[in-house]
C-alpha cells in the first residue's frame, strides 16, 4: 500500500529501537507501559486485509459456512466450548480464513515476522502499531462499559460472549465500523510465546487499513529498509527471538535451522560454517 504520513522510515538499528518504543512512557505511573499492539509484515506494500478477504469474490457470504463446518469437523480435536469467539480464535490459530488479524504485544515478535522470510529481503518490511487503548474509545457504549467495568482495554471470549454471542450480533451493535481486540485462550505454547492477540472489525467487508485512515491518530508504521533486514535478523537471533522459541516444536526448530544456515547473498556454505565456528 502507498506511504502514509504516519510512516517512520528507520536507517539503523538504533533508529529502529527508538521507533519501536516511542510513546510507551506512562508518566502517570513513571513506568514504560506500551498502549500499542504490533503487527510485522514482510513487505511494506502488504495491506491489513484478513485471510477471509483474501479469498476474493463474495467472501463475506462464506464466513458462516467456513466457521460452521470447522466447528462440525474439529470437535474430535479440540473442545473450546460453545462460544463463537473461542471457536473463531481456534479457527484463526489453525489457518481457517477468518475476519481476524494476528497482533502481538511485543514489538520484537512483530520485528521477527517482518524479517523472517529470506525471499523478501529485496524489499522493505513494515511494522504496524495501533494504540489499542485509544481504539477502545470508538467501541459501542455497551462494549466500552464492559471494558471499563472489567478494568481492561481488550476483550476475552468470556467477556465478549454475554454482550454478543454471534457475528451477526456484533454487526448489529453499531452501523459504523469499529475495531476491537480479543485475547485468545492459551490454545498452545505458540500463542503464549508470541504474546498474541487478535483484531476484528464488526463487519467482514471493512478493512482495517481503511478504518485506520479515518483514525490516523491511532497508529503509526515503521518502515524497515531492505538493506537493514540482515542486521535486524542477526540481532533478533542473538536475542532469542527465533522460530525455535516462537513456534515450539519440531516445525519451529526446522524453520529456524533452515533460515539460520542459509548463506547471505554472495556467501558460500563454507564461509557460513566458518562464521558459525568462530562465533
Check whether residue 138 and residue 194 sit in a common domain.
yes
Output the average pLDDT for the chain.
91
pLDDT tens digit sequence for 123-182: 999 999 999 999 999 999 999 999 999 999 999 999 999 999 999 999 999 999 999 999
Check whether residue 128 and residue 262 sit in a common domain.
no
Check whether residue 132 and residue 255 sit in a common domain.
no
Check whether residue 82 and residue 120 sit in a common domain.
yes
More confident residue, 219 or 194: 219
Residue 277 pLDDT > 60? no
Check whether residue 264 and residue 184 sit in a common domain.
no
In a domain, 223, yes or no: yes
Confidence of residue 78 (pLDDT cuts 50, 70, 90): low
pLDDT of residue 269: 66
Residue 275 pLDDT > 60? no
Check whether residue 50 and residue 128 sit in a common domain.
yes
In a domain, 14, yes or no: yes
Domain that includes residue 269, residue range:
249-278
In a domain, 177, yes or no: yes
pLDDT of residue 217: 96
Check whether residue 119 and residue 178 sit in a common domain.
yes
Our count of domains for the chain comes to: 2
Highest mean pLDDT range out of 127-131, 157-161, 194-198, 258-262? 127-131
In a domain, 161, yes or no: yes
Check whether residue 142 and residue 211 sit in a common domain.
yes
In a domain, 270, yes or no: yes
pTM value surpassing 0.95: no
What average pLDDT does range 191-210 have in this prediction?
A: 93
More confident residue, 205 or 187: 205
Check whether residue 159 and residue 111 sit in a common domain.
yes
Check whether residue 223 and residue 262 sit in a common domain.
no
In a domain, 219, yes or no: yes
In a domain, 244, yes or no: no
Check whether residue 206 and residue 260 sit in a common domain.
no
Confidence of residue 276 (pLDDT cuts 50, 70, 90): low
In percent, how much of the chain has pLDDT > 90?
A: 76
What average pLDDT does range 58-65 have in this prediction?
A: 93
pLDDT of residue 117: 94
DSSP output for the chain: ----TTEEE--SHHHHHHHHTTT-EETTTTEE---EEEEEES-TT-----TTGGG-SSGGGTHHHHHHHHHHHSTTT----S-HHHHHHHHHHTT---S-EEEES-HHHHHHHHH--GGGTTS-EEEEEEEHHHHGGGS-HHHHHHHHHHT-SSB-HHHHTTT-SSHHHHHHT-SS--EEEEPPP--SHHHHHTTEEEEEESSSS--HHHHHHT-GGGEEEEEE-GGGHHHHHHHHHHTT-SHHHHSTTHHHHHHHHHHHTSPPTT--HHHHHHHHHH-
What average pLDDT does range 38-63 have in this prediction?
A: 95
In a domain, 13, yes or no: yes
More confident residue, 165 or 262: 165
Check whether residue 175 and residue 40 sit in a common domain.
yes
Amino acid at each position: 500500500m502507498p506511504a502514509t504520513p504516519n510512516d517512520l522510515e528507520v536507517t539503523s538499528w538504533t533508529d529502529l529501537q527508538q521507533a519501536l518504543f516511542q510513546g510507551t512512557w506512562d508518566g502517570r505511573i513513571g513506568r514504560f507501559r506500551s498502549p500499542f499492539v504490533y503487527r510485522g509484515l514482510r513487505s511494506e506494500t502488504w495491506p491489513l486485509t484478513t485471510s477471509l478477504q483474501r479469498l476474493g469474490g463474495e467472501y463475506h457470504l462464506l464466513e458462516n459456512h467456513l466457521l460452521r463446518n470447522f466447528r462440525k469437523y474439529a470437535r474430535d480435536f479440540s473442545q473450546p466450548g460453545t462460544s463463537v469467539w473461542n471457536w473463531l480464535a481456534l479457527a484463526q490459530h489453525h489457518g481457517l480464513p477468518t475476519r481476524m488479524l494476528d497482533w502481538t504485544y511485543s514489538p520484537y515478535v512483530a520485528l521477527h515476522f517482518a524479517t523472517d522470510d529470506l525471499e523478501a529481503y529485496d524489499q522493505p518490511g513494515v511494522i504496524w502499531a495501533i494504540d489499542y487503548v485509544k481504539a477502545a474509545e470508538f467501541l459501542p457504549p455497551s462494549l466500552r462499559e464492559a471494558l471499563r467495568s472489567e478494568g481492561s482495554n481488550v476483550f476475552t471470549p468470556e467477556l465478549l460472549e454475554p454482550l454478543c454471542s454471534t457475528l451477526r450480533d456484533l454487526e448489529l451493535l453499531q452501523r459504523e465500523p469499529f475495531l476491537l481486540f480479543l485475547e485468545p485462550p492459551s490454545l498452545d505454547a505458540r500463542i503464549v510465546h508470541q504474546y498474541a492477540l487478535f483484531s476484528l472489525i464488526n463487519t467482514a467487508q471493512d478493512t482495517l487499513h481503511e478504518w485506520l485512515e479515518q483514525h490516523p491518530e491511532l497508529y503509526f508504521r515503521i518502515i524497515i529498509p531492505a538493506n537493514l533486514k540482515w542486521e535486524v535478523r542477526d540481532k533478533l537471533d542473538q536475542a532469542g527471538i527465533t522460530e525455535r522459541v516462537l513456534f515450539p516444536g519440531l516445525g519451529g526448530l526446522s524453520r529456524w535451522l533452515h533460515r539460520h544456515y542459509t548463506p547471505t547473498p554472495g556467501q558460500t556454505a563454507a564461509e557460513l560454517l566458518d562464521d558459525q565456528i568462530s562465533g
